[in-house]
């Protein structure tokens, strides 16, 4: 099959959707399919498998900032690419995100009437989506162009289904389990001698880092031989957290710059517990899956997206969101119970196999094939009905 994977987000900026698209592309090509990625980018991308369309601009969305193409004139370039490439399957991620994704749905069937359009909805947002709410009537036109619909988790499916009714096939984000579960990884040096709690990710308010910092103050007061390691990209919000920690004189908190993907597993090896206290707007919890694959026991907030991955007390611990005291108590208890940590880590490692990329890529590929078979069946029935009409006409 010739497959287009479409991301609405700046291909130069790492993120969950772009990582998913890049890995899916790699695994589909490994199965012998021809795959091209279509995405906006601020500069030319030196990759023969990537076609850049449109210049991205920053837009605030769901407590974060996304970089998407907004120029409606990208439609001309989209039409040209689709006509030239003649894809069998066009798989659009966040298919109702302006404007690249919508233009792809607008022109895909014009370029190839037999194309199969698939959309994956990754996001969820507490309180609803204003774009979906106010633009639902217009967006339904492009939603109807989707032959198949995927969500990455039950909460993501419930979120989009309240605006656009239909059947959603749940296929989770994939994970490079082999990378995260390497046995010969050396722990990141410089963190010996203490019991380490690890946080990885951006310092956005919705990630709950302020709650974790307050909770760690209580944990550290109970046990001074603890340390909180915060790994993530630089930002204005992160610098505010760093200044807050410095002003308050809090001990044992270390801010580490963004690390290469290959080195993150070394931070897990140097840590006793991984903690993600997000307040909401998480559709699945990719960082939880990474920690589980790395064999690091997980404590996370009890929000829908995280609860779709973690079963409390079995393969991780879930605590009430935005409750620093509850989080401190859970961290203290887990740090003091090596048997529970070992049990959670082992169960988490088994659970995360469900999200391995070979498994997820095969689920996606099987869905493509099922949709193509359905399309061929409908087409054959249509031809048979037409032939019957012609032969029985007076």
Domain shared by 210 and 289, yes or no = yes
Per residue in 28-49, pLDDT tens? 999 999 999 999 998 888 999 9
Domain shared by 20 and 141, yes or no = yes
Domain shared by 17 and 165, yes or no = yes
Tokens for 273?
Answer: 């517990």
For the chain, what percentages of helix, strand and coil (3-state, to nearest 5) are there? 45, 20, 35
Report residue 384 CA to chain centroid gap: 43
pLDDT at 72: 87
Q: Inform me whether the pLDDT recorded for 348 exceeds 80.
A: yes
Q: How many CB atoms lie within 10 A of CB 36?
A: 19
343 is in which domain, residue-wise?
Answer: 178-354
pLDDT at 54: 95
Per residue in 259-284, pLDDT tens? 998 999 999 999 999 999 999 889 88
Average pLDDT over residues 123-141: 85
Q: How many CB atoms lie within 10 A of CB 92?
A: 26
Domain shared by 207 and 312, yes or no = yes
Domain shared by 162 and 187, yes or no = no
- Mean predicted lDDT score pLDDT of the chain: 93
Q: Inform me whether the pLDDT recorded for 14 exceeds 90.
A: no
Strands 56-61 and 64-69: antiparallel
Q: Inform me whether the pLDDT recorded for 126 exceeds 90.
A: no
Average pLDDT over residues 164-174: 94
Coil, helix or strand at residue 256:
strand
pLDDT at 63: 58
Q: Is residue 393 part of a domain?
A: no
- With 0-12 / 13-18 / 19 or more C-beta atoms within 10 angstroms meaning exposed / middle / buried, residue 112 is middle
Domain shared by 202 and 189, yes or no = yes
Domain shared by 348 and 360, yes or no = no
Per residue in 289-334, pLDDT tens? 999 999 999 999 999 999 999 999 999 999 999 999 999 999 999 9
CB 10 within 8 A of CB 68: yes
Average pLDDT over residues 184-210: 94
pLDDT at 154: 92
8 or 132: whose pLDDT is higher?
Answer: 8
pTM score of the predicted model: 0.88
Nearest residue to 29 via CA among 47, 54, 11? 47
- Helices 286-294 and 261-269 meet at what angle, rounded to 10? 60
Q: What is the CATH number of the domain that holds 371?
A: 3.40.50.2000
Which helix H or strand E contains 229, and what residues bound it?
A: strand 226-231
């Amino acid at each position: 099959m010739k497959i287009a994977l479409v991301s609405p987000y700046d291909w130069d900026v790492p993120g969950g959707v772009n990582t998913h698209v890049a890995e899916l592309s790699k695994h589909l090509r490994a199965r012998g399919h021809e795959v091209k990625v279509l995405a906006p980018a601020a500069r030319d991308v030196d990759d023969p498998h990537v076609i850049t369309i449109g210049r991205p601009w920053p837009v605030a969305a769901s407590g974060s900032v996304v970089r998407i193409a907004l120029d409606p004139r990208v439609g001309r370039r989209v039409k040209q690419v689709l006509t030239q490439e003649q894809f069998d399957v066009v798989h659009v991620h966040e298919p109702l995100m302006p404007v690249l994704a919508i233009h792809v749905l607008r022109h895909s069937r014009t370029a190839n009437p037999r194309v199969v359009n698939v959309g994956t909805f990754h996001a969820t947002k507490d309180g609803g989506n204003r774009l979906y709410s106010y633009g639902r009537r217009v967006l339904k036109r492009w939603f109807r162009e989707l032959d198949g619909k995927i969500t990455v988790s039950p909460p993501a499916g419930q979120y989009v289904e309240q605006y656009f009714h239909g059947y959603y096939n749940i296929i989770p984000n994939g994970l490079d389990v082999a990378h995260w579960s390497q046995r010969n990884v050396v722990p990141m040096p410089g963190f010996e001698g203490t019991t380490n709690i690890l946080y990885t990710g951006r310092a956005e308010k919705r990630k709950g880092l302020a709650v974790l910092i307050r909770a760690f103050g209580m944990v550290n007061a109970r046990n001074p031989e603890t340390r909180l390691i915060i790994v993530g990209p630089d930002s204005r919000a992160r610098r505010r957290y760093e200044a807050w920690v410095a002003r308050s004189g809090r001990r044992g908190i270390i801010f580490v710059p963004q690390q290469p993907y290959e080195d993150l597993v070394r931070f897990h090896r140097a840590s006793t517990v991984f903690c993600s206290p997000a307040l909401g707007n998480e559709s699945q919890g990719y960082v939880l899956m990474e920690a589980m694959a790395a064999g690091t026991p997980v404590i996370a907030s009890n929000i829908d997206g995280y609860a779709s991955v973690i079963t409390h007390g079995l393969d991780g611990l879930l605590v009430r969101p935005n409750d620093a005291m509850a989080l401190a108590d859970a961290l203290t208890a887990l740090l003091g119970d090596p048997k529970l940590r070992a049990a959670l880590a082992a169960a988490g490692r088994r659970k995360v196999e469900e999200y391995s990329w070979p498994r997820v890529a095969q689920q996606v590929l099987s869905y493509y094939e099922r949709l193509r078979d359905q399309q061929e069946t409908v087409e054959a029935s249509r031809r048979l009905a037409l032939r019957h009409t012609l032969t029985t006409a007076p």
